Structure 1
Amino acid sequence: MSLYKKLFQQTFIYGLATVLPRALAIVLVPLYTSVLDPSSFGVYATLMAYIILGNVLLSYGMETAFFRFLNKDGNKKSLVQSTALTSITITSLAIFVLAYLLKDQIANLIGFDERYVVWALQILVLDALVIIPFVWYRANEKPLKYAFVKILNVCINLGFNLFFLLALPILDKGNLETFWGAMRLVDYPVDFIFKANIIASGATLLMVLPLYFKIKFKFDYALWKQMMRYAFPVLIAGIAFSINEAFDKILLDYLLPEDIAETEVGVYAACYKLGVFMTLFATAFRLGIEPFFFNHSKEANAKETYALITKYFTIFGCIIFLVVMVYIDFFKQLLIRDEAYWVALSVVPFILLANLCLGIYHNLSVWYKVTDRTKYGAYISVFGAIITIVVNFALIPIISYKGAAIATLAAYGSMMLTSYFLGRKYYRVPYEVKKIGTYLMVATGFGAVSFYVFDRNLIIGTALLLVFLLGVFFIEKKELKQIIKK
């Protein structure tokens, strides 16, 4: 199988496994927005933002360190796996116990009921305990097993969401003394969302548990210190990324007046979901490309390959951007049926572009990963986080969630450009900058014309999309034929 075909196949399988969990978020948006008012949806979105930050803290860069040390010294492959598994298991359980003992203080600090803190802790520890098994699947090129477990997790989560939110209220008939009524331990729909998540995460851990016996618990302190030195900058970068990705919801809740904060977070978070199409594409691509970067870093034409992959990632990303922009009225009615949420639709172009910039950044990040300069990844991410915080503080009090959307684009755009210029110094990849820049500018221009100038007119928008597609085809036709033949 050719290099590109293998990359495409693995990216497709990993992408499917990654897209489906995130697609679950899209599928559930109509359900959540029909049973939750914007204020309750804001509570859900804010707590999920804290969970995103918690996921980063509990993984602390060990996933990337696992890949790097697995390829760095083949003789220590088994020891690397065992040390990573032991480390994640011990720290996850220890943090869970400590946080549970301090749950009252944590609840007061973040302003949530104690039960939400406990449920969030359960989700965090269960998700942390499957990190190494999933990395093991990827490192050992077992995408089908990876995909099977991920997809089953989605099915379980979706099934219990539908049961709790739709079936159970019908079955219990409002009588808590019946069998079905006894299952309704809470009265708020948002509570059931977290319970469904816990059940799905617990089932996933049971499915990957056999890998614990295959990898086995073994700990090499000297190796662990080396892995942690590599992982620490990745952790810092991860924290910064979580700030860029989720902190806007927290800051909206903090900076806006109390009487409107949760509602503003709710409408913003719902419309933010329309940008998930770009996130799905970028995340799926990253999962397939990260092992590829490491495995082929020593090839003679590695840099040329990286450049080609980045160009086509940008092209596909631009197409996704235009499709969502042109047909956004269809997507909003499909995913967010309650018109009360549509007031925040103006954030979608910014979120789509922001996620495209983030995807390009992940492609550009190859230079510091294969040269063991992960500290620069941390520097860039912290730089992006600073921009996120500063712009949010500056704009949210003035223009509410629009300021949060602008801050996201400013952060990811800055990170993309910074990584490119630093990469030219330490690991110069021959990117086709003019072409990539042109595609980005044309797609952005066409999207803006369709969305703002012609007020989402379908005929004009479709015509602009076709012009872009034809332009790409004629410009890249010769190269595409060569790639397909390989």
Structure 2
Amino acid sequence: MNPLRQLVSQTAIYGLSSIIGRFLNYLLVPLYTYTFSAGEYGVVSEFYAYAGFFAVLLVFGLETGYFRFRQKAEYDADAVYHNAQSFLTIANLAFVGAIGYWLQPLADWLRYPDHPEYLLWFACILALDAFTALPFARLRAENRAWRFAGIKMTEIFVTIALNLFFLLACPKLVSLWPDAPLAELYDSNMGVGYIFIANLAASVFKSMLLLPQLRAIPFRLDWRILAPINRYSLPMVVIGFAGMVNEMLDRAILKIMLPYDLQTNLKMLGIYGACYKLSILMSLFVQAFRYAGEPFFFSYAGRADAKRTYALVMQYFVIAGVFIFLLVTLYIDLFKYFIGEEFRAGLPVVPILLLANLLLGIYVNLSVWYKLSDRTGLGAWVSLAGAALTVALNIWWIPLWGYVGSAWATFACYFFMVCLSWLLGQRFYPVAYPLGKLAVYVALGLTLYFGNRHLLETYAWNPWLSGSLGLAIYLAVVAVFDLRPLLRRR
């Protein structure tokens, strides 16, 4: 199969499953924001921000290390997998044990003294997700995208079903039959705790579905294999952790940095967290591309036309990313109904966050330079520099502009990392990316966005008409300058 076609097909499978699954999961946002107050939803946003950091730490960068070392002739792919999986198992059991041992002091420190169970449930969720990371990586490496997608989709369906059961069905059933056994089991004061319970149950079910990839794995800790893998992979932890700082720090520290009382800060955090969900389409696209792109970049690296192919991948990635930006921003009057009315005050951050995630996707494309040149340590310094900028800007801008400052800090960080990564890439693994064409498409997207706002605010155009016009103009430009020449070459 043509390599670009293979990448597109794999991205489509990962993307379709992610988009359908995460979109179904995304439908829980209206459930949450119409069921809970902004302050209660702020608790959920905060915990998932913490989860992002630990999800990186507990995998130890071994996904990327597995992709790299399974390709090397001097290593057996099964031995690499077995050693890495054994290491992850021990590390995550130790993590859950440590959380259980210091449970109440940690709950007091996070200002949840009455709910230490939240921390234990989340520790188990994180450990299970880390434990299953390598089986999922193996499915990707073996191009078993359909099985990967099927398990991910099943996990999401279970999560949705349990959320609907706990948050909608149980209260109605208990009110209809107050003497039923369910009434004794169901605790109406649990509130957002049922969200965590649903996620934990879904993680357990996902692990059971991955048993074919987990069973009969011999316990191995051969440091002749693990040592070089860890030397390569541990800088990826720094890169991933710094990435989480860029992506999640705002929601983790808004409660502390906003200049209001605790309840108001949690309300602001809830509003920001809900509006962050409106950039989900761009996040899904970047995630799907990363799933398909990482094994593709490694497997294609030895070919003569590899760099030309990477440049083409970047070009079409930006074209698709700008389309997603326009789809959401031009039809924001539709997307806003996915969150409760109390949360819509934060809608101005959505375009900023969409552009920030587009820059993140560009950075994922550019990251081939340190992965393929084995300079993951230098790549870690790029991520650390971006993380330092994120911390500084959040501390500076949150007291001034609130959560809008957080959104701009995320954008500024990814823009800085894109520029720095491109400069280093031209030094260590130069790829002739079509910078002029990329800039034109981004500029066209911004022009159409601001033009649409002008038509709405100055001339009171119908939002559906102006949005459709802007999207049609963009698609026409893409068809004339990229799709038509591509079809002619074929």
1:254-313 C-alpha deviation (Å, 9 max, x unpaired): 111224100000111111111111001111011111100000000000000000010000
Decide whether the 8 Å contact of 1:325 with 1:349 is kept in 2: yes
Counterparts of 1:220-259 in structure 2, within 5 Å, are: 220-256=222-258, 257=260, 258-259=262-263
Q: Deviations over 1:309-337 (max 9, x none)?
A: 1000000100110111110110111x11x
**Could you say which residue in structure 2 is the equivalent of 1:459?**
465
Amino acid at match of 1:468: Y
Cα distance in structure 2, aligned partners of 1:271 and 1:94: 36
Which secondary structure does the structure 2 equivalent of 1:382 belong to?
helix
Task: Provide the C-alpha distance between the structure 2 equivalents of 1:410 and 1:452, rounded to a whole number of angstroms.
Answer: 25
The alpha-carbon deviation at position 463 of structure 1 amounts to 1.8
Kindly indicate whether the alpha-carbon contact (under 8 Å) linking 1:79 and 1:219 is maintained by their aligned counterparts in 2.
Answer: no
Mapped to 1, the partners of 2:53 and 2:454 lie a distance apart of 34
The Cα shift of 1:185 comes to 3.8
Query: Which digits, 9 at most, give the CA deviation of each residue in 1:136-156, with x for residues without a partner?
Result: 111111111111111110111
User: Pick from 467, 472, 482: which aligns with 1:476?
Assistant: 482
Could you say which residue in structure 2 is the equivalent of 1:132?
134
CA–CA distance in 1 between the matches of 2:430 and 2:66? 25
What residue number does 2:359 align with? 357
CA gap of 1:393–1:211, structure 2 versus 1, over 3 A, is: same
Would the alpha carbon gap of residues 181 and 4 (structure 1) be closer, same or farther in structure 2, given more than 3 Å must change? Answer: same
> In the alignment, which residue of structure 2 is the partner of 1:73?
73
Q: Which residue of 1 aligns with 2:30?
A: 30
Q: Distance in 1 between matches of 2:446 and 2:360?
A: 15
| Counterpart for residue 272 of structure 1 | 276
Partner of 2:14: 14
The 1-side partners of 2:131 and 2:76 are apart by 22
The corresponding residue for 2:370 is: 368
Residues 335-369 of structure 1 deviation map (CA, whole Å, 9 limit, x = unaligned): 11x21111000000000000000001101111111
Equivalent positions of 1:133-148 (< 5 A) are 133-148=135-150
| Alignment coverage as a number of residue pairs | 482
SS of 1:188's partner is coil
Q: Residues 186-197 of structure 1: matches in 2 within 5 Å?
A: 187-197=189-199
Correspondence for 2:59 = 59
What are the equivalent positions in structure 2 for 1:196-235 lying under 5 Å apart? 196-235=198-237
CA distance in 2, matches of 1:356, 1:386: 20
1:177 Cα deviation from its structure 2 partner: 5.3
Bigger mean CA offset, 399-408 vs 203-212: 203-212
* Counterpart residue number, 2:451: 449
| Letter paired with 1:16 | L
Deviation string for 1:14-64 (max 9, x for gaps)? 223333443244111111111111110111100111111111111110111
**Contact 1:153–1:203 (Cα < 8 Å) also in 2:** yes
Partner Cα distance (1:253, 1:176) in 2: 38
Residues 379-394 of structure 1: pairs in structure 2 closer than 5 A? 379-394=381-396
The aligned runs of 1:269-348 (5 Å cut-off) are: 269-333=273-337, 335-336=338-339, 338-348=340-350
Distance apart, 1:479 and its partner CA: 3.5
The answer to whether the Cα contact below 8 Å between 1:248 and 1:404 also exists between their aligned partners in 2 is yes
Q: Secondary structure at the match of 2:432?
A: coil
Q: CA RMSD in A?
A: 1.6
SS of 1:173 mapped into structure 2: helix
For structure 1, the residue ranges without an aligned partner over 5 or more in a row are none
Q: CA deviation at 1:452?
A: 6.1
Q: In percent, how many aligned pairs have the same letter?
A: 36
Question: For residues 84-112 of structure 1, what are the alpha-carbon distances to aligned partners after superposition, in whole Å with 9 as ceiling and x for unaligned?
Answer: 11011110111111121011121122222
SS at match of 2:219: coil
1:214 CA displacement: 4.5
| 8 Å Cα contact 1:78-1:215 kept in structure 2 | no
Question: For residues 453 and 389 of structure 1, do their structure 2 counterparts lie closer, same or farther at Cα, with a shift above 3 Å needed?
Answer: farther
Gaps of 5+ in 2: none
Within the alignment, does 1:159 sit opposite 2:165 as a pair? no
- Counterpart Cα distance in 2 of 1:30 and 1:372: 44
**Structure 1 400/413 Cα, relative in aligned 2: closer, same or farther at 3 Å?**
same
TM-score by length of 1: 0.96
The 8 Å contact of residues 39 and 263 in structure 2, kept in 1 or not, is answered as no
Alpha-carbon distance between aligned partners in 1 of 2:24 and 2:101, rounded to the nearest angstrom: 32
Distance 2:120 2:400 in 1: 35
**Take 1:209 and 1:9, find their aligned partners in 2: how far apart are those partners?**
26
Query: SS in structure 2 opposite 1:392?
Result: helix
Task: Sort the Cα spacing of 1:397 and 1:71 in 2 relative to 1 into closer, same or farther, 3 A.
Answer: same
Separation in structure 1 between the aligned mates of residue 42 and residue 105 of structure 2, nearest angstrom: 22
Match of 1:72, SS state, is coil
- After superposition, the Cα gap between the structure-2 partners of 1:81 and 1:19, relative to the gap in structure 1 and judged at 3 Å, is same
Q: Aligned with 2:317: secondary structure?
A: helix
Structure 2 CA distance, aligned partners of 1:324 and 1:287?
23
Aligned equivalent of 1:181: 183
**d(CA) in 2 for partners of 1:75, 1:382:** 31
Match of 2:123 in 1: 121
Assess if the C-alpha contact under 8 Å between 1:396 and 1:403 holds in 2: yes
Aligned amino acid, residue 92 of structure 1: N
| Aligned counterparts of 2:119 and 2:482: Cα–Cα separation in 1 | 52
In structure 2, the CA distance between the partners of 1:371 and 1:482, relative to structure 1 (3 Å rule), is: farther
Deviation at 1:480, TM superposition (A): 2.0
Give the match's secondary structure for 1:189. Answer: coil
Aligned partner letter, 1:37: S
